[in-house]
């Protein structure tokens, strides 16, 4: 179900199709799925939406990245491919010359780091490499890369790198405690999460799209939602069993899942998701702890520990895409 736009005419045809009123409404009223999928010795970085017959391949890499980065304002996807950043425009599909990543060896940047990680009590020379957490164009058009350096006690240092004519430099930094970073009040702050979009970020895996969130009742496809408290022992409630009914294209289906409160945050954990369709199929979408993201008639599941992403049609139980290394809805 994947098509690579090869010819020069193909991107133009794609744009002309988008110019049709009905197609424009369909394209932008429906979220698009951005994902990476390994196919033999090649990884396809693609996007898809429910009104497209096929996914569009944006790039191919030898190994699938753990996350994909997006600058929504510029309709641009950034793919980290080895030590390079590949920049791909979505409409029409076009790729710029690759750019070298900032050196990931944090020791080469120590004199520019404030705070310095080697002043942390959990620092040791075996601390790993800098890892990309966000890529975007800054307000003045320069390319910015947000990098993190994890400590042994799960706290992190974050550094914002900026690319100028003379190369990369660190322009902002912060330290984050074990259970996460405090969200800046002002979105103009370089570390505000609203400035970064990726397939493993909080913006793309928002709670409002998760199976347990009450706003799911606003969906045109949801017919009922039942919740039964689960007793770990008499009088002690450990979580809930959810049952959610759907009616899509005349077909009825039911999702069940077990949810329990997190011991460290105010969110809920999700386990053991089962989809029952009219045809009688009983499909287990995840037996382990997972994240869910429902958009329209589709559910995207990220199963922890196995690192598995999968997209399923809620009306039929059909698996649309499986064995994805990373994925998220991009509005």
Domain membership of residue 101 (yes or no) is no
Domain final residue pick, 198, 229, 252 = 198
Mean residue pLDDT of the chain comes to 86
The CA-atom distances, in angstroms, between 154 and each of 157, 176, 205, 306 are: 10, 9, 22, 21
Tokens of residue 14, six digits:
């794609």
240, 214 Cβ separation under 8 angstroms:
no
Domain membership of residue 217 (yes or no) is yes
Whether 226 and 320 share a structural domain? yes
**Predicted confidence (pLDDT) per residue in 96-133, tens digit:** 999 999 999 999 999 999 999 988 887 876 678 999 99
- What 3-state class would DSSP assign to 106? helix
Domain membership of residue 149 (yes or no) is yes
Q: Of 83, 54, 78, which is closest to residue 67 (Cα–Cα)?
A: 78
Q: Of 66, 90, 69, 89, which is closest to residue 79 (Cα–Cα)?
A: 69
Whether 211 and 194 share a structural domain? no
Residue 11 banded pLDDT, cuts 50, 70, 90: very low
Whether 215 and 309 share a structural domain? yes
Whether 79 and 110 share a structural domain? no
Q: What whole-number distance in Å separates Cα of residue 252 and Cα of residue 248?
A: 6
The residues with which 33 forms a beta bridge, in sequence order, are: 48, 329
Domain membership of residue 236 (yes or no) is yes
- What 3-state class would DSSP assign to 300? strand
Residue 97 CA from chain centroid, whole number: 25
Does the pLDDT of residue 280 top 80, yes or no? no
Whether 190 and 213 share a structural domain? no
Whether 57 and 172 share a structural domain? no
Average pLDDT for 167-189: 90
The CA-atom distances, in angstroms, between 200 and each of 64, 156, 293 are: 14, 17, 12
What pTM was estimated for this model as a whole?
0.83
Domain membership of residue 122 (yes or no) is yes
Whether 289 and 211 share a structural domain? yes
Domain that holds residue 151: 106-198
Domain membership of residue 148 (yes or no) is yes
Domain final residue pick, 155, 170, 198 = 198
Pairwise pLDDT comparison (54 vs 263), residue with the higher score: 54
Tokens of residue 65, six digits:
């990245």
Does the pLDDT of residue 330 top 80, yes or no? yes
Q: What whole-number distance in Å separates Cα of residue 291 and Cα of residue 276?
A: 19
Residue 291 banded pLDDT, cuts 50, 70, 90: very high
Domain membership of residue 86 (yes or no) is yes
CB atoms within 10 A of CB 324: 23
Residue 19 banded pLDDT, cuts 50, 70, 90: very low
Domain membership of residue 8 (yes or no) is yes
Query: Looking at the 3D structure of the chain, how many domains does it have?
Result: 3
CB atoms within 10 A of CB 59: 20
Q: Of 221, 219, 181, which is closest to residue 201 (Cα–Cα)?
A: 181
CB atoms within 10 A of CB 100: 12
191, 146 Cβ separation under 8 angstroms:
yes
Residue 261 banded pLDDT, cuts 50, 70, 90: confident
Whether 228 and 185 share a structural domain? no
Taking each helix axis from N to C terminus, what angle separates 21-29 and 9-18, rounded to the nearest 10 degrees?
A: 90
Whether 180 and 113 share a structural domain? yes
Domain final residue pick, 198, 226, 259 = 198
Pairing of strands 2-3, 55-61: parallel
First-last CA distance in the chain:
22
Whether 45 and 76 share a structural domain? yes
Average pLDDT for 155-183: 92
Whether 293 and 218 share a structural domain? yes
Whether 35 and 74 share a structural domain? yes
187, 193 Cβ separation under 8 angstroms:
no
């Amino acid at each position: 179900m994947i098509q690579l736009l090869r010819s020069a005419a193909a991107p133009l045809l794609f744009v002309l199709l988008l110019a049709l009123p009905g197609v424009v409404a369909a394209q932008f009223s429906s979220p698009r799925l951005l994902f990476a999928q390994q196919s033999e010795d090649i990884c396809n970085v693609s996007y898809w939406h429910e009104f497209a017959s096929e996914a569009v391949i944006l790039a191919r890499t030898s190994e699938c990245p753990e996350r994909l980065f997006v600058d929504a304002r510029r309709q641009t996807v950034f793919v980290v491919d080895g030590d390079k950043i590949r920049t791909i425009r979505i409409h029409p599909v076009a790729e710029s010359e690759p750019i070298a990543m900032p050196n990931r060896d944090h020791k080469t940047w120590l004199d520019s780091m404030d705070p310095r990680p080697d002043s942390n009590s959990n620092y040791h020379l075996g601390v790993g490499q800098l890892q990309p957490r966000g890529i975007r164009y800054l307000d003045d058009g320069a390319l910015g890369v947000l990098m993190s350096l994890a400590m042994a006690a799960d706290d992190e240092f974050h550094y914002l790198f900026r690319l100028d004519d003379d190369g990369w430099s660190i322009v902002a930094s912060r330290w984050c405690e074990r259970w996460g970073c405090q969200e800046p009040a002002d979105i103009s702050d370089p570390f505000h999460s609203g400035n970064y979009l990726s397939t493993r970020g909080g913006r793309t895996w928002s709670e409002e799209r998760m199976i347990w969130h009450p706003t799911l009742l606003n969906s045109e496809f949801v017919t009922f939602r039942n919740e039964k408290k689960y007793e770990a022992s008499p009088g002690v409630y450990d979580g809930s069993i959810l049952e959610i009914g759907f009616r899509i294209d005349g077909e009825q289906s039911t999702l069940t899942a077990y949810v329990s409160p997190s011991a460290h945050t105010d969110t809920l954990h999700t386990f053991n998701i089962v989809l029952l369709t009219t045809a009688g199929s009983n499909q287990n979408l995840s037996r382990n702890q997972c994240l869910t993201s429902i958009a329209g008639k589709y559910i995207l599941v990220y199963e922890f520990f196995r690192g598995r992403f999968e997209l399923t049609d809620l009306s039929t139980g059909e698996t649309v895409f499986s064995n994805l290394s990373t994925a998220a809805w991009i509005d």
